[in-house]
A and B are shown apart, each in its own frame.
Chain A
């Protein structure tokens, strides 16, 4: 059985696993962008909590429509525009991030288009939560029942793609209040306020259990090899021009003025 297991594993594409804890989200996103664009390996990054509350918008997000700008300015909350699509989240030490970066040929039964990749991820997380919770992929969100606990986004290049998720292990109600109700919300949200729409993962399983189950599920499709963050071999931050960036105070203030006029 062990021999068969090894043989089977030999047929699976390699995925390098990097486990992080408390990495600042800007640093994580910069690393992800470099891995997507300059590496030819498959990667799974798991960041167990980020260092401090930060708002992260998708590539095309309009600040004045998505964020309560005045309290954000008052409380000095950083805002990042990331390189992937999707909506706006507020992340902190109680957010768990799971990112998968794949060569399209490594997951050959999945077409490199958003809905195919999203479906594939839904099946993967189905395995993660099996027997624990009423998990679904619902209109591109991960839900327990009809409450969202994970938000997804992707970026797709010619031969590779990234699918990353921010999981609400727990959340601070105050942080949620920095986000506006988006104009474009999923249908299943109905008219629910943010707090009635989301739920906390900690009510279902421990942090370590979630991470272990995720790694096990990935191991069903990839040969997973753990590596340290220090041994990641891609161009350094200074050598690469990132799309992901921190918004300046001026940009945030201008958004404030846009609302007032």
Chain B
């Protein structure tokens, strides 16, 4: 059991994934998080955006993703698209402001990528950011994990 835990912990560290014993949602290091459960990966002026493991778990099986047009403007905190799951459309809100430079076309034929790979293949849009300073408004992984725990414990 101890060996398995050690292996899991090392694997998690290699993959930069935090895994919680109670089966809580995965949170990836080096990303920033919005309180509406989107993540952003920043590389210079470029941002990749998706929804978190917490979000996909609570949404259920995603059957459709409504994507914005390339070239569309996005604003921090405002909706840019939607996912459909369990008879509901749920807004996806942008964690950063800027211009959409790429959308994940794979999601048209495989919307379930959002569930199976929320931080990798299930990415949703790429944005050319207009204001890197806005990243200060987002949560780091530890703060986001705690935020999710608090949300789940309240309900």
**Chain A residues positioned under 8 Å from B58 (CB to CB):** 111, 113, 115-116
Residues of B within 8 A of A (CB): 36, 58-60, 63-64, 66, 77, 79, 82, 84-91, 93, 151-152, 154-155
CB atoms of A85 and B86 under 8 A apart:
yes
Interface-lining segment among A123-131, A153-161, A212-220: A153-161
Contact of B155 among A84, A87, A111 (CB under 8 A): A111
Once the chains are docked, how many angstroms separate the CA of A116 from the CA of B57? 12
Q: Give the interface centre of B36, B85, B90, B152 by most chain A CB atoms within 10 Å.
A: B90
27 residue pairs bridging A and B, Cβ less than 8 Å apart:
A58-B84, A58-B87, A59-B64, A59-B82, A59-B89, A60-B84, A84-B89, A85-B88, A85-B89, A86-B88, A111-B58, A113-B58, A114-B87, A115-B58, A115-B60, A115-B86, A116-B155, A118-B87, A140-B86, A152-B87, A153-B87, A153-B88, A154-B87, A155-B88, A155-B90, A156-B88, A156-B89
B47 to chain A, nearest CB (A): 19
**Chain B residues positioned under 8 Å from A156 (CB to CB):** 88-91
Chain B: which residue is nearest A160 at the CB level?
B91
**Chain A residues positioned under 8 Å from B85 (CB to CB):** 85, 114
Once the chains are docked, how many angstroms separate the CA of A110 from the CA of B155? 6
- A258 contacts the other chain (Cβ, under 8 Å)? no
Once the chains are docked, how many angstroms separate the CA of A83 from the CA of B151? 27
Once the chains are docked, how many angstroms separate the CA of A259 from the CA of B152? 46
Interface code A68-87, partner B: CB below 8 Å = 1, 0 otherwise? 00000000000000011111
A198 to chain B, nearest CB (A): 17
Known A58-B84, A85-B89; further 13 A-B contacts with Cβ < 8 A: A59-B82, A60-B64, A60-B66, A84-B89, A85-B64, A85-B84, A85-B88, A113-B59, A114-B88, A118-B86, A140-B86, A154-B89, A155-B90
Contact of B91 among A86, A111, A157 (CB under 8 A): A157
